[in-house]
Structure 1
């Protein structure tokens, strides 16, 4: 039997140019749901998604993103914002832990452990790492649905954040989604025995 998830992994690549074809709204909603349902450390869900479809905004972002063609040719550009402030907000933290249905004592112990963990972290880096989990799930899920994507880290971070008028959030990465307008390159990866060790 065909492994459909593996087939999606084989299909997915960083598409640099997209057809001028819009992704149906119901499809993009599913892709966004893949992000919403993604796992995150301590269940904090620190990502916030800005979905850009306005062509004028994409054109104004492109020079800030190394003039990459996927910015303006994609159907949907998802800006994944890392919210470092919210993961330190006591009201938000209490709300997130309350969902677990633990006793007040267990909840307090868990929150104490959480704050002890935070003290040892570069919080901005930790939050951005969570954003990549959501991005990976969106891209693989999109490939499963026949939709192409490209993760984008090549941008002038401060200028993009200024242009988008972000407050207390930073851009972790962007992901362009659309339908491929270029030949798919062969998949190039290290062999399994080069990356996997069993003990």
Structure 2
């Protein structure tokens, strides 16, 4: 039975070892992925892509470049979140197509595209700046996917401990188009007693009235 939102938030933790005998159903995995796909993004550009890896050989190939962490090979589904590079450049034509999805006069579409290009001029000026922008947004999708997984009683563990260039090579990515943002394994925990530790509300919340 699905958990409530609060139950899911209490359940979720960074799972360090998954039960490699358990597999996430297609239905539940699609629920998780849809939470990522439907996540908000700056200017509605959806500057991300998700690679869903169940191939055990490829997982094993990637693991040494992720600090040899066991989550990589014990998880049911290994999701690689990529940050878009070329797709968010105005000259690629894709931002214009994104704006054109909404019904509006052509002049209004042109206005938004010009606003986009002008406002993000510095951001879009280099691959490094673009990556910083799109990878940051990809964490919104990652957060939603992890919460969606927890609602289904499925564990996850966001991983930034990786050798970016080596993982990109293992995946044979064209880094002019896509670059590695986050490694996100999903599966079922081995230890049912795993606990979540957080700062007290008084250390996190500051109300300004």
Measured after TM superposition, the shift of residue 193 of structure 1 is 2.7
2:203 to 180, 194, 197: 194
- Quote how far apart the aligned CAs of 1:150 are: 0.6
Match status 1:120 vs 2:122? yes
Return the match for 1:152 from 148, 159, 180. Answer: 159
State the alpha-carbon separation in 1 of the partners of residues 55 and 104 from structure 2: 44
Q: Which moved more, 1:43-52 or 1:116-125?
A: 116-125
Match of 1:81 in 2: 82
SS at match of 2:182: strand
Mapped pair 1:9 → 2:9: yes
Shift of 1:89: 4.3
Residue 35 of structure 2 corresponds to 34
Name which of 136, 159, 164 aligns with 1:129.
136
* TM-score, reference length from structure 2: 0.90
Deviation at 1:187, TM superposition (A): 2.2
Unaligned runs of 5+ in 1: none
SS across alignment from 1:190: coil
Structure 2 Cα separation of the partners of residues 89 and 114 of structure 1: 8
CA displacement 1:155-198 (0-9 Å, x = unmatched)? 11000001101012111001100010124433222222322223
Q: 2:178 maps to which residue? A: 169
Match of 2:106 in 1: 104
Indicate conservation of the 8 Å contact 2:13/2:195, yes or no: no
| 1:26-65 alignment, distance < 5 Å | 26-65=27-66
Q: Distance in 2 between matches of 1:142 and 1:161?
A: 26
Matched positions, count: 197
Please give the TM-score of this superposition, normalised by the length of structure 1: 0.94
Question: What are structure 2's unaligned runs of at least 5 residues?
Answer: 124-128
Paired position in structure 2 for 1:72? 73
In structure 1, the residue corresponding to 2:14 is in which secondary structure?
A: coil
- Alpha-carbon distance in 1 for matches of 2:28, 2:167: 27
Q: RMSD of the TM alignment (CA)?
A: 1.4
Match of 1:140 among 143, 147, 153: 147
Cα distance between partner residues in 2 of 1:43 and 1:98 = 11
1:33-70 C-alpha deviation (Å, 9 max, x unpaired): 11110000100001101111011111111111101000
Shift >4 Å, 4+ stretches: none
Partner Cα distance (2:115, 2:207) in 1 = 31
Offset of 1:78 from its aligned partner? 0.2
